[in-house]
Structure 1
Amino acid sequence: MVVLSASVCTRQGKALVSRQFVEMNRLRVEGLLAAFPKLVGHAKQHTYVETDSVRYVYQPLENNLYLLLVTTKASNIVEDLGTLRLLAKVVPDVAGGLQEHTINENAFELIFAFDEVLTAGGYKEEATLSSIRTNLIMDSHEEKIHKALQQSKEDAARAEMQKKAKTLQEQKMAQQRQTFLSGQAPSGSLGGMEGFGGGGAPSQGGMFDQFQGMEQQVPTQQEYNPYASLQKSTAPVAIAPKVLAKSGMKLSMGKGGKKDSLMAAMAVEDNLLPVGGKGGGIDFGFGAPAVAPPPAAPSTPLSLVLEEKISVNMNREGGVENCEVKGILNLTANTDAGAAAVVTINKSQLPSTFNYATHPKVDKKIYEQRGVLALKGGKAFPIARSVGILRWSYNNEDAAPISINCWPEDEGSGRITVSIEMELTRADIVLHDVNILLPLGTTEPPAIESIDGQYKHDPNSGMMCWHFDAVDSNTNSTGSLEFSVAGNNSDAFFPIQIGFRSQTLLCPIAISGVANSSSGSPVPNDISMSFVPDKYQCA
């Protein structure tokens, strides 16, 4: 098929949005659109009409609007109708409605959406409504990593600055203490102590006698306290941030710093090294996103988000020592219709192993009786503000979806061989972008002997990321990695951090209905689910 242009126009042929996919001048486009109202009047029972040179494929929309494709006469009419149906779903989804003002306000977004369906030259792409939404959001894992890495570097530099400031403070205090005990005249900020010790080296008792005499002459001891200025100062004041700005924020982390900071481990580099795994690049997602992408304009009166976070601590043999799951149902009313909605969940089917709690403003009585989440007194939800209306939690070792078993072995020749096993422990979960982050204790690259999946090494921080695009019961349910690296400290490889994302919740909660609180009519809504780790590590 070859599509010359795609347009959203009025019944009179006025184009609100028009996208050309072949070279056409403005007069040609305006002439084709101007001829459309005259032709469609003679073919009311059809979805296309032909002229001597082109074919008009159209579909009426609401409010006297038309979705119009102009194609060549040799174009496949079946493919043209399929493209038309897809665009008819895309237009209200992107614009948020089918009114002229919403089309005009979202004209550029609609053009970008048209480009996801049709390529230059007018050829159809293999696209779905879901893939188009994803492409329009332009979510970038690399951008998230970069921003998280910058924040991590700043935090690490601030901690290093405070550590050095504390060391300098202790050195100054020790020096002043030594000066005080030796009876020598201190200098610098302690200029008020010139009378101590005189010009010689008196005995310790004579020095304290002089100090007692000075106390009797002045009302306050603070002026003559040799540690007063040090006690007032704090680490952040001792070293100003301007010093870091001159040197460009230099990090000098030891082994402890590498373990404490997960995101400082991976620098954004382009030298991805796939070994024994699937080809292609890696999109690293480390669990909790540092910066969320800007939300798209709401297309429904109500948005519902079910979120779960899990915190897991494992030992080095893969045993789960503690595991905690916390979930929340967030409601956002986008319009007055959404604010007047009530939400029904499958309360009778929820397991009793989870603990549930409703928001204090939610009517708990009707929730216990019918599983309906609504505000007390029939009040409406606030508009354009996210409200958590239901929480749940679960504490059990069997909730952990993935286990890690790490075995470092010292070869005795200045190198350590590390064997790691990954296993999916829950068959009902599908994990995406699984990243297992390992500190190496050295900046030297590891020598990979065998690997399932892919890996990336960051020589600056001495970290390695073991990556799987997806882990489920059918794909990569288990994996192993074996490598050797220079060193002799087997504790340097811990803690191991694990990140992933999933759209499968551990709690089988489901939205069974969303209706208007007064009329009981259904309220259109958008539901999304996410399951990510809050802190998932093997130590």
Structure 2
Amino acid sequence: MSRIRIEGLLAAFPKLVGTGKQHTYVETENVRYVYQPIELLYLLLVTNKQSNILEDLDTLRLLSKLVPEYAPSLDEEGVCKMAFELIFAFDEAISLGHKENVTVAQVKQYCEMESHEERLHKLLMQSKINETKDVMKRKASEIDKSKIEKNRGDKGGFMAMSGPRRIESSFSDMSISSNSGGFGSGSGFGLSSDVESFSSKSKGRPPSTATAPSKGLGLKDPNRPFPTGQNDVNLIKWRIQGMNEASLPLTVNCWPTVSGSETFVNIEYEAFETFDLQNVLITIPLPASREPPSVRQIDGEWRYDARNSTLEWSILLVDNTNRSGSMEFVVPPADPSSFFPIAIKFTAANTFSDVKVGNVIPIRGGPPPKYAQRIQLIADNYEVV
């Protein structure tokens, strides 16, 4: 029976129903309505005219006993609230249009057994997810240890950002000096600060003998012009040493779980409150496949790159409204390690040190030149392995 046919029969029922009877039926040219009032509602059974009305009444009696077992109240709100539970119970009582030889207790037992199996499946899935989390934590711990050992060996830092557009420092009130013609005028420049030089403070080196201000390491030859037209000119290099995961602008966790003929992959991101991130792009490698992944849920947008076999998850802006987010997708069965390393790109309008250009001072006198500054944090190499 088609859906349109069922909707038409139900729409015709209120015009045919009578009042004043507890158990009754109405026959039309093609079907028989067997119904029973329940409070302000009707429990309705639609059959053909050739069916045994005694069996129909027996079926209606069983269904009328099931409704109070599942519905908290015998009104429209209570029945709608437990609609799926009632459908499952009715399905146990009626099979292929005929009443099953079951009791109310047996129907409840069958439904509970089905729920029990579902709970077991969920527990199994959660167990696999927890196991994957433990593996990822162990890998992260091993990576942290290897980074610490490497830092001890080369005395390097965790992060280095340089260039005129990516300057970070732990000092404040710092100024960059140049002549009146600006950086490209052919004269030298210097750095000045109200605190001691970073290099002389940390490494014990004497200050530079150049003509630049005594508290700032400027060009060794002030007569040489500033190297304009170059993208990466190292003015200041600032490093963070001993940085922990809680200080990162963005953290990403990924949990692949193989279940039967599918692999469920859950990915979550969490952003540090100090930074508002723009143009976040998380690129997940995928096993080679002709079909794109099935994305079940996502906070943001996604794109499948078939040529590189990667899934790109993009979030235009991460601020106080979406400090965390998640994505879930499904692919054919695959080794969990095939989803790593995950590459991450983003930018931010502020930096760890929050250093800014205070002013530009010509070394040889003259009016200060006009300048504009742009502060930006850029993730050059940011991976989850």
- TM-score normalised to the size of structure 1? 0.35
Structure (1 or 2) with the larger CA radius of gyration = 2
